[in-house]
Amino acid sequence: MNATLQACAALILVALWPHARAADWKPLRGTYAVSARSVVDPPVEEPKDSHFRIQLSGDAAKDLYRAMKVAERRDECTGAVAKRVGEMQCLAYQRENRYECHFAIDVMRQKIEHGVAC
């Protein structure tokens, strides 16, 4: 019975392997900060750890930029080409072939918000 159970477990693993690999997990490059809600000069009474800010770069930013199925627009702050979905923004610096994405997560509300000031 033990050999039969092992054989069944092996068959299940083999059957599920393509589904587990479908996500194609990759390492990230970027930076993060835990901060207050206000990016610039937060009020004294504002909690200093309410937001998790993320700045992606490299392939992670490029993949996220390409996944955003919205029109490109020129970003007034950087001059880069930008895509924005809600409060999440990704930038493509075409001359340098470089990508960045910026957003924040409101930790307690689990909501995506704008990541960086202009």
**pLDDT (tens digit per residue) in 18-52:** 555 568 999 999 999 999 999 888 889 999 999 99
**Does residue 99 lie in a domain region?**
yes
**Residue 27 C-beta-side C-alpha neighbours within 13 Å:** 1
Judge whether 5 lies within some domain.
no
What is the number of structural domains in the chain? 1
Report the length, in residues, of the chain: 118
Whether the per-residue pLDDT at 10 is higher than 70: the answer is no
Q: Does the pLDDT of residue 9 top 70, yes or no?
A: no
pLDDT of amino acid 21:
59
> In this prediction, what percent of the chain has a pLDDT beyond 90?
71
Kindly state whether residue 118 falls inside one of the protein's structural domains.
Answer: no
Is residue 14 in a domain? no
Q: Are 106 and 87 in contact (CB under 8 A)?
A: no
Domain for residue 29, yes or no? Answer: yes
Q: Is 76 helix (H, G, I), strand (E, B) or coil?
A: coil
Range of the domain at 60: 25-113
Average of per-residue pLDDT values in the chain? 86
If pLDDT is split at 50, 70 and 90, which confidence band does 102 have?
A: very high
More confident: 40 or 75: 75
18 inside domain: no
pTM of the full structure: 0.76
Looking at the predicted structure, is the pLDDT value of residue 16 above 80?
Answer: no
Q: Which of 2-11, 36-45, 103-112 has the lowest mean pLDDT?
A: 2-11
Is residue 81, in this structure, part of any structural domain at all? yes
pLDDT for 15 equals: 47
Would you say residue 3 lies in a domain? no
